Amino acid sequence: MQPRAPGPAEPRRVPPGRSRARSRGAALLPSMLMFGVILASSGLLLMIQRGILAQVGPPPPHPPAGPPSRREPPAGPGLELEVLRDTRNRTIRALCGQRSMPRTVWDLPAGQRRTLLRHLLVSDKYRFLYCYVPKVACSNWKRILKVLDGALESVDVQGKMDHKSDLVFLGDMKPEEISYRLKHYYKFLFVRNPMERLLSAYRNKFGEIKEYQQKYGVEIVRRYRKNGGNSAGDDVTFSEFLRYLLDEDVERMNEHWMPIYNLCQPCAVRYDFIGSYERLRDDADHVLERIQAPSFIRFPERQAWYKPVTAQTLHYYLCNTQRRLIKELLPKYILDFSLFAYPLPNITSEFCRQ
Ligand SMILES: *[C@@H]1O[C@H](CO)[C@@H](O)[C@H](O)[C@H]1NC(C)=O
Ligand SMILES: *[C@@H]1O[C@H](CO)[C@@H](O)[C@H](O)[C@H]1NC(C)=O
């Protein structure tokens, strides 16, 4: 399938000043992989966002030098990374350029704005905003913010993190203060494969955290299991969890499974950098360098108690879940797959036989 070329109406949808840098020559070696991601998810997006991506077309030519960078990216993985960043960047621009999408935080309905502003953490000293996404190394970033602020001695302090104290939330500021910071500060977030993030939330919250078992688990089992009335909520299955997500309103979900789109609103906020959980260390170093963090601050190692989600674990859970359930759930998370260029989960029978 060939992507459609931008029609003659294309420039009119882009407000003046937005597309200036985009018309330079030199074609990027198109990575079929990343291109496939966009094409694959655009089918679903078409349905969900009423044809928005239909107008996107192929990636425009890549500017010869790319974004200004101190180091030349190495051959091999460097190119792939550049393609990934570029794909994300273009998809976000294309989708967020649509008339119906929010342009600023003030365009958002009050509830969505409240969620966003509660997830934007502020460092006035280093002039940045970090949108935290639970299950994407956010505890470690919060530790770093506390160390930068002098509230914590070292990022390696053991134990779980207090997620509220000694942190500054953009939502606690006045509108002028909010606007100033959104306009002038460096803004970043970290994203993760949506399916892995859901699985990580499921295993952590329902496997380990009593409070979640009681608050959500009991109700989930009661709703989705025959005679599930007397479960303690500690035995929720992954399928029951997915069925629960299907019935939940994305805007009201718990932050551990709310789509990243709704937590961080990448259309209303123009992020300068989107890091990946899949290359956490390197992307974190990039941010630390960019915000000019003191060199003794390093991104923390994983906490010893943390159980990573591996490809095998994901394979196991996906392949032991009804395909229909996963397919029905994808539209809810489709913006996270598309905007951040993650391939939709492979749940073909060939894959599951492996
Ligand atoms: C997208 O590209 C523009 C121009 O190169 C850059 O300024 C911006 O930081 C990029 N955004 C992201 C999220 O990578
Ligand atoms: C899914 O996995 C199978 C087996 O590894 C592979 O043959 C197939 O091409 C994959 N499909 C997609 C859409 O990635």
Please answer whether residues 194 and 333 qualify as being in contact, where contact means their C-beta atoms are separated by less than 8 angstroms: yes
Taking CA atoms only, the protein residue closest to ligand 2 atom 10 is: 346
36 lines ligand 2 (CB under 6 A): no
Show the tokens assigned to 212.
Answer: 């979640």
210 Cβ partners below 8 Å, 6+ apart?
234
- Laid out side by side, the sheet with 186-191 consists of 120-123, 128-131, 186-191, 273-276
Ligand nearest to the CA of 347: 2
pLDDT band for position 79 (cuts 50, 70, 90): confident
Ligand nearest to the CA of 20: 1
Closest atom, ligand 1, to C-alpha of 271: 13
Q: Would the pLDDT of 293 be above 90?
A: yes
Ligand nearest to the CA of 96: 1
Taking CA atoms only, the protein residue closest to ligand 2 atom 14 is: 346
350 lines ligand 2 (CB under 6 A): yes
pLDDT digit string, tens, across residues 319-328 = 999 999 999 9
351 lines ligand 2 (CB under 6 A): yes
Look up the pTM and report it: 0.79
Sequence ranges of the domains in the chain: 34-353
Ligand nearest to the CA of 65: 1
Residues with CB under 6 A from ligand 1: 67, 85, 89, 271-274
37-41: average pLDDT: 50
Q: Mapping DSSP to helix (H, G, I), strand (E, B) and coil, where does residue 175 land?
A: helix
Q: How far apart are CA 150 and CA 82, in angstroms?
A: 35
Instruction: Return the H-helix or E-strand segment holding 275.
Output: strand 273-276
pLDDT digit string, tens, across residues 141-199 = 999 999 999 888 888 877 677 888 899 999 999 999 999 999 999 999 999 999 999 99
pLDDT digit string, tens, across residues 186-245 = 999 999 999 999 999 999 999 888 999 999 999 999 999 988 778 888 899 999 999 999
Q: How far is the CA of 232 from the centre of ligand 1 (A)?
A: 47
Phi and psi at residue 123, to the nearest 5°: -120, 110
Q: How far is the CA of 59 from the centre of ligand 1 (A)?
A: 15
Q: How far apart are CA 302 and CA 295, in angstroms?
A: 19
247 lines ligand 2 (CB under 6 A): no
Q: How far is the CA of 89 from the centre of ligand 1 (A)?
A: 6
